Amino acid sequence: MNFKLKIWRQKNAATKGKFEDYTLNDVSPEMSFLQMLDYFNDKLITEGGQPVHFEHDCREGICGSCGLYINGRPHGPLRNTTTCELHMREFEDGSTIVIEPWRSRAFPIIKDLVVDRSSFEEVMLAGGFVNINTGGALDANTTPINKKISDRAFDAAVCIGCGACVAACKNSSAALFVSAKVSQFAMLPQGKTEAAERVEKMVAKMDDMGFGFCSNTYACEFDCPKGISVEFIAQMNREFFSAKVCSHKK
Amino acid sequence: MIKLESKIPQGPLADKWNNYKSHLSLVSPANKKKLDIIVVGTGLSGASSASALGELGYNVKVFCFQDSSRRAHSVAAQGGINAAKNYKNDGDSVYRLFYDMIKGGDFRAREANVYRAAEVSNLVIDHFSAMGVPFARDYGGGLDTRSFGGVQVSRTFYAKGQTGQQCLLGTYSSLNRQIAKGNVTLYTRRDMLDLVMVDGKARGIITRNLLTGELERHSAHAVVLATGGYGTVFYLSTLALGSNSSAAWAAHKKGALFANPSFIQIHPTSIPVLNDYQSKLTLMSESLRNDGRVWVPKEKDEKRKPNDIPEEDRDYYLERRYPAFGNLVPRDVASRAAKERCDAGYGVGDTGLSVYLDFKDAINKQGEKVIADKYGNLFEMYEKITGINPYREPMRIYPAGHYTMGGLWVDYNLMTTIPGLYSVGESNFSDHGANRLGASSLMQCSGDGYFILPYTIGDYLSDEIRTPRFSTDTPEFEEAEKEVKERIARVMAVNGTQTVTSFHRRLGKILWDSCGMVRSKEGLEKGIEMLDQLEEEFWKEVKVPGTADEYNQELEKALRVADFFEVGRLMCQDALDRDESCGAHFREEFQSPQGEAQRNDAEFAHVSAYEYAGNKQKPVLHKEPLVFENVELKERSYK
Ligand SMILES: Cc1cc2nc3c(=O)[nH]c(=O)nc-3n(C[C@H](O)[C@H](O)[C@H](O)COP(=O)(O)OP(=O)(O)OC[C@H]3O[C@@H](n4cnc5c(N)ncnc54)[C@H](O)[C@@H]3O)c2cc1C
Ligand code: FES
């Protein structure tokens, strides 16, 4: 297969970036998208060029490192698929593929296709944990948890924190990411005790970090590679309002 | 002269750890604040170490090369985590878990360490559960378990096929809690490139800031390496691409012995190689062998599609060869059996290098929904990569490099041969002998970090309370930084014509052929020769574009590959020195007439720990004898 690639090139945060056009021939349909980029980079390097920087590690859709905006969609055309799981057989031979980094004020570009997602980490540091010390936990089976509830918590917990939800949203909202974390803990007995403080702190931090508001377009759910449901956003909103009401009463 | 002292406490096996830890010296809370600890790595072992040590009040600095600590490779573990809870009432116990690991490791691990790992496994599950890790549950609300290879009880706790992710996210949250409290400082996007020694003790590290290229110095009273495995030495493996040996190798060069380097597990169920540009092999969790049946056609030139081949023309070779364990034999056995069938010409797929893993019977019996509930995400992953729906057609699988049992030699305290340098998790050699049983790595990593290291490191640090926090403006740091700078300059200066990846691919192929599933004296000797040649070529022909003082992913790779040449050579040397077959180490010359591994306990019941003698110099071999007081050395049979 042959492709025209239109790739965002930017030397560093301080310089301005722009699209560069390239052609890449002899791509095999069995290659994954990142293997195609490896192959492309190898060519660039041997021809004396500078390879395109992009992030990746596990290459099996679980670490959340990879994240490219491909033909106008985070992680490309397939639903429930990360960039590293995408294969070239999904693209039309001879077509042009546009590759960009995530675009959001909260995710500044570092180089080429690599962005700084530490704003997610800041939100997690604000309260994304259960305050429990090591040692002294009771036997795990002393706290039975209804299977449906625990499965539901798991559905929220599978978020890989890649940032596709923010990239998909016209407002750059992080509501889906934050709500998945808030909901997972709020649903389980272990995290419930601190649910109110947690949601207040995490939402406040999310606003501080420059993420936009959620206007319920659901683009995030559509482009989430892990199929996280927007119902968690509703749940976060409920948690948030009831926390606010409670703290007013106090 | 290095002396290996395992420091195994006296007393009956079951009491060793309890007695020992009750007598370890302590550091007072006021003094802990004055002591600095560096932890390199934020996988399960590093993040648990850092958070537990931070919780105790030490001043901790933790490092990883990813942009977030939660992306460490532990996130990719799929199938589960073991604990001796006996929730299924099926006869499990700490002793049985211990025994399974000793036998699974083919009697090449230290009894006392393994017993302790089994002992703390229950604490790990309780702790994870208390942190809100959403493990699978049954309808009564209790935790569910499943079986894994090499055992006959059901002791593996899981969260669908994402157990590693869920355990790591739990550990990440405990780490974040300590970061938020100011007890731990996290440094992301850093590569540790050297260890700094002062007066014979580990006192700091040199890191490279991956975004700016700046070299940084960090000092501490003790250093913990939790840098994971080096299976990426094969280039194609189930590991994340960034996994590397460089931090452990830097420590090795400074005097830490490297134990059993050739004990590398080849996992039997990975998606096979599909094209020449493949960069990674995706694991299909061992848990699948609970319900999937492995087979190949009985005829060599079988042309029919798998679903068209009737039962009588299929060879369920694991069930045939190992009736007692069937599809659940340990990994080394399953891998070699697959290779044997493929080498004999019965392999399937275009290359003939794969076997079927079939769920037809399980789906017929349990229904598609139950199977989807257990393995949904793995089936999806398989379909995404191969385009084949495993609910309808058997998976095709083949063995792939997966886990390094070998690693830095540590004593009972998890301290290496360098005073003040510890190693936890996959980066040490400690608990799995010559073969690791499934779901016991997550268990070991979390046990090491949460429940073992915090005790043993205190004993060492109790002697350090009078050592003031020290500056990095010393000749030792100066010297270490200078060495790193020169190494970087050297690789940048080559400016040849071939990419780093092209060398890595060739290096991996040499090792896979000579030091993979089956080894021989002749093959290993040839392997070493080829590595020498390739390394020479690397230093003449490699091309690293860009500069050293900017974000440069090719430079990161080049430094790792440069170390892999040396690691690869040590692997081959170790495999040559060990004239026996045990676990994952299978020497063609040492096998029974039925093709099973033949151990030689009289000569090789020891840990081989190597001392660095300079690149291309023959390393010095030290032996730690393994004493078995509680189990009888037996032929490891799964028949
Ligand atoms: C696909 C797959 C599935 C698996 N499934 C299971 C399973 O179901 N059950 C089980 O028990 N085990 C499983 N394992 C094994 C298990 O996941 C690993 O052995 C374990 O997670 C290793 O954890 P760790 O903390 O030792 O290292 P890792 O999680 O690998 O972490 C290494 C850390 O060190 C850092 N690091 C490395 N080098 C450097 C350096 N030079 N400088 C700075 N930082 C560095 C990295 O950034 C990272 O934070 C699986 C392994 C694979 C590959
Ligand atoms: S590289 Fe890990 S999710 Fe894509």
Residue type, B43: G
- DSSP β-bridge partners for residue B256: none
- pLDDT, tens digit (0-9, with 9 covering 90-100), for B543-562: 999 999 999 999 999 999 99
Examine residue B218 and state whether it is found in any structural domain, yes or no.
Answer: no
Query: Which residues of B fall within a CB distance of 8 Å from A144?
Result: 137, 140-142
Indicate which residue's Cα is closest to atom 38 of ligand 1. B227
Contact B159, A154 (CB under 8 A): yes
Orientation angle between helical segments B500-515 and B553-577, nearest 10 degrees: 20
Q: Which of residues 31-70 of B touch A (CB under 8 A)?
A: 51-52, 55, 66-68, 70
- pLDDT, tens digit (0-9, with 9 covering 90-100), for B602-636: 999 999 999 999 988 999 999 999 999 999 998 88
Q: Do B241 and A110 touch (CB under 8 A)?
A: no
Give the per-residue pLDDT at B615: 87
Residue type, B296: V
Give the end-to-end CA distance of chain B in Å, rounded to a whole number: 45
Give the per-residue pLDDT at B53: 98
Q: Report residue B624: phi and psi, to 5°.
A: -105, 110
Examine the pLDDT at B358 and tell me if it is beyond 70: yes
Examine residue B159 and state whether it is found in any structural domain, yes or no.
Answer: no
* Residue B367 belongs to domain with CATH number: 3.90.700.10
Give residue limits of the domains in chain A: 3-110, 118-249
User: How far is it, in rounded angstroms, from Cα A211 to Cα B619?
Assistant: 55
Q: How much distance in Å is there from the Cα of B240 to the middle of ligand 2?
A: 9
Note the ligand closest to the C-alpha atom of A82.
Answer: 2
Examine the pLDDT at B351 and tell me if it is beyond 90: no
Among chain B residues, CA nearest to A182? B132
In chain A, the largest separation of any two C-alpha atoms, in whole Å, equals 68
Q: Do A141 and B52 touch (CB under 8 A)?
A: no
User: How far is it, in rounded angstroms, from Cα B154 to Cα B170?
Assistant: 23
Examine the pLDDT at B128 and tell me if it is beyond 60: yes
When scoring B48, B82, B87, B133 by the number of chain A Cβ atoms within 10 A, the one with the most, hence best to mutate, is B133
Nearest Cα to Cα of residue A227 among B386, B388, B161, B377: B377
Examine residue B342 and state whether it is found in any structural domain, yes or no.
Answer: yes
Nearest chain B CA: its distance from A32 CA (Å): 8
Examine the pLDDT at A250 and tell me if it is beyond 70: no
Nearest Cα to Cα of residue A30 among A87, A76, A78, A70: A87
* Residue among B48, B74, B270 to mutate when testing ligand 1 (max atoms within 8 A of CB): B74
Contact B514, B264 (CB under 8 A): no
Report the residue from A45, A62, A116 with minimal CB separation from B545. A45
- Residue A21: enclosing H or E segment and its boundaries? strand A18-24
Q: What is the mean pLDDT of chain A?
A: 96
Domain count for chain B, please give it.
Answer: 1
CA-to-CA separations, B326 to B304, B313, B318, B320, in angstroms, rounded: 25, 18, 5, 7
Examine residue B428 and state whether it is found in any structural domain, yes or no.
Answer: no
Q: Report residue B209: phi and psi, to 5°.
A: -75, 115
Report the residue from A53, A60, A139 with minimal CB separation from B381. A60
Average pLDDT over residues B298-319: 96
Both tokens assigned to A82: 């990360």
- pLDDT, tens digit (0-9, with 9 covering 90-100), for B52-87: 999 999 999 999 999 999 999 999 999 899 999 999
**Please, which residues have CB within 8 angstroms of residue A160's CB and are 6 or more apart in sequence?**
A61, A62, A63, A64, A82, A225, A226, B165
Q: Report residue B113: phi and psi, to 5°.
A: -65, -40
Give the per-residue pLDDT at B466: 95
pTM of the model: 0.97
- pLDDT, tens digit (0-9, with 9 covering 90-100), for B197-244: 999 999 999 999 999 999 999 999 999 999 999 999 999 999 999 999
Examine the pLDDT at A223 and tell me if it is beyond 80: yes
DSSP string across B179-238: HHHTSEEEE-SEEEEEEEEETTEEEEEEEEETTT--EEEEE-SEEEE-----GGGGSSSS
Give the per-residue pLDDT at B242: 97
A248 — pLDDT class (breaks 50, 70, 90): low
Both tokens assigned to B433: 């002998």
- DSSP β-bridge partners for residue B74: none
Residue with tokens 């030699």, as numbered in its chain = B409
C-alpha angle B486/B550/A165, rounded to 5°?
140
User: How far is it, in rounded angstroms, from Cα B518 to Cα B335?
Assistant: 10
Residue B179 forms contact with A (CB below 8 Å): yes
- pLDDT, tens digit (0-9, with 9 covering 90-100), for B80-93: 999 999 999 999 99
Examine the pLDDT at B255 and tell me if it is beyond 70: yes
Determine the length of chain A. 250
- pLDDT, tens digit (0-9, with 9 covering 90-100), for A34-49: 999 999 999 999 999 9
Examine residue B408 and state whether it is found in any structural domain, yes or no.
Answer: no
User: How far is it, in rounded angstroms, from Cα B316 to Cα B332?
Assistant: 17
Residue with tokens 């290996």, as numbered in its chain = B4
The fraction of chain B above a pLDDT of 70, given in percent, is 100
Q: Which residues of B6-36 are buried (b: 16+ CB within 10 A; e: fewer)?
A: bebeeeebeebbeebbeeeeebeeebbebbb
Instruction: Assign A111 to helix, strand or coil.
Output: strand
Examine the pLDDT at B168 and tell me if it is beyond 90: yes
C-alpha R_g of chain A: 21
DSSP state of B569: H
Neighbours of A48 (CB within 10 A): 9
- pLDDT, tens digit (0-9, with 9 covering 90-100), for B102-127: 999 999 999 999 999 999 999 999 99
* Residue among A33, A56, A117 to mutate when testing ligand 2 (max atoms within 8 A of CB): A56
- Check if A3-110 and A118-249 are the same fold: no
- Domain of residue B324 covers 267-402
User: How far is it, in rounded angstroms, from Cα B452 to Cα B447?
Assistant: 6
Residue type, A58: C
- The complex's ipTM? 0.97
- pLDDT, tens digit (0-9, with 9 covering 90-100), for A68-99: 999 999 999 999 999 999 999 999 999 999 99
Examine the pLDDT at B438 and tell me if it is beyond 60: yes
- DSSP β-bridge partners for residue B159: B161
Examine the pLDDT at B307 and tell me if it is beyond 70: yes
User: How far is it, in rounded angstroms, from Cα B442 to Cα B426?
Assistant: 9
Neighbours of B633 (CB within 10 A): 14
Examine residue B82 and state whether it is found in any structural domain, yes or no.
Answer: no
Examine residue B129 and state whether it is found in any structural domain, yes or no.
Answer: no
Provide the CATH number for the domain formed by A3-110 in this structure: 3.10.20.30
User: How far is it, in rounded angstroms, from Cα B145 to Cα B171?
Assistant: 21
Give A118-249's CATH code, choosing from 3.40.640.10, 1.10.1060.10, 1.10.510.10, 1.10.600.10: 1.10.1060.10
Q: Do A64 and B140 touch (CB under 8 A)?
A: no
**Please, which residues have CB within 8 angstroms of residue B343's CB and are 6 or more apart in sequence?**
none
Contact B249, B406 (CB under 8 A): no
User: How far is it, in rounded angstroms, from Cα B413 to Cα B113?
Assistant: 9
- DSSP β-bridge partners for residue B146: B156
Q: Do A87 and B384 touch (CB under 8 A)?
A: yes
Contact A159, A174 (CB under 8 A): no
Report the residue from B139, B387, B554 with minimal CB separation from A147. B139
Both tokens assigned to A246: 């409670």
Lowest mean pLDDT among A112-121, B284-293, B389-398, B471-480: B284-293
